[in-house]
Amino acid sequence: MPVVDDIDTGGYWAAAALGRLVVRACRNCAVVLHLPQAHCHACGSWDTYWREIAPLGTLYSWTVSHQQLHPAFPAPYTIVLIDLDDAPGAHLVGYLEGAPKLHAGMAFHALFDEVAPGVRLVQWRPAP
């Protein structure tokens, strides 16, 4: 379970609980701060905020696991790395059951999987 009240990532989890996808960004220079942090590594500003983005991305990379490491994840399963359309260079990870046929650059969209009351994980699926 994620730590939903973490000072650096709490805004991400709060938005996900509402079915929204956000990234941390700098108001001063507009750079996306991923991994999220309150301080901008590009310009040094502390004026950062959560910017909502479209829940769309493209497949950057993936790996298929054929070994079950945990009962919640029967093998095979696929871990995907998604490049966010509205925040190029920022990537989010997702889980797919099985070993689907994938190719780099494939369009994906986010789903918000409720794993506990008020807690949603962002997951990714190939776009139709």
Q: Which of 92, 68, 66 is nearest to 80 (CA)?
A: 92
pLDDT tens profile 39-93: 999 999 999 999 999 999 999 999 999 999 888 889 999 999 999 999 988 999 9
Whether 4 is covered by a domain: the verdict is: no
**Is pLDDT at 21 greater than 90 in this prediction?**
yes
Write the secondary structure of 87-116 as one string of H (helix), E (strand) and C (coil): CCCCEEEEEEECCCCCCCCCEEEEEEEEEE
Whether the pLDDT of residue 3 is over 90: the answer is no
In a domain, 120, yes or no: yes
Q: 3-class DSSP state for residue 15? A: helix
Mean pLDDT of 20-48: 95
Taking alpha carbons only, the member of 55, 63, 53 closest to residue 104 is 63
pLDDT of residue 7: 87
pLDDT at 121 over 90: yes
92-119 confidence digits (pLDDT tens): 999 999 999 999 999 999 999 999 998 9
Any domain includes 67: yes
* Number of independent structural domains in the chain: 1
Cβ density class 64-73: b for 16+ within 10 Å, e for less = eeeeeeeeee
50 belongs to a structural domain: yes
Per the prediction, the chain carries an average pLDDT of: 94
Look at the alpha carbons of 54, 58, 60, 65 in this order and tell me if their dihedral is positive or negative. Answer: positive
Q: In terms of C-beta distances under 8 Å and separation of at least 24 residues, what long-range contacts does 68-73 make, across chains too?
A: none
Q: What pLDDT is attached to residue 10?
A: 93
Q: Which tokens sit at 112?
A: 């918000």
Q: Residue 66 domain-assigned?
A: yes
Owning domain of residue 58: 10-126
Asked if residue 86 is part of any domain, the answer here is yes
Could you tell me if residue 61 is inside a domain?
A: yes
d(CA 128, CA 111): 13
Look at residue 48 and tell me if it is in a domain: yes
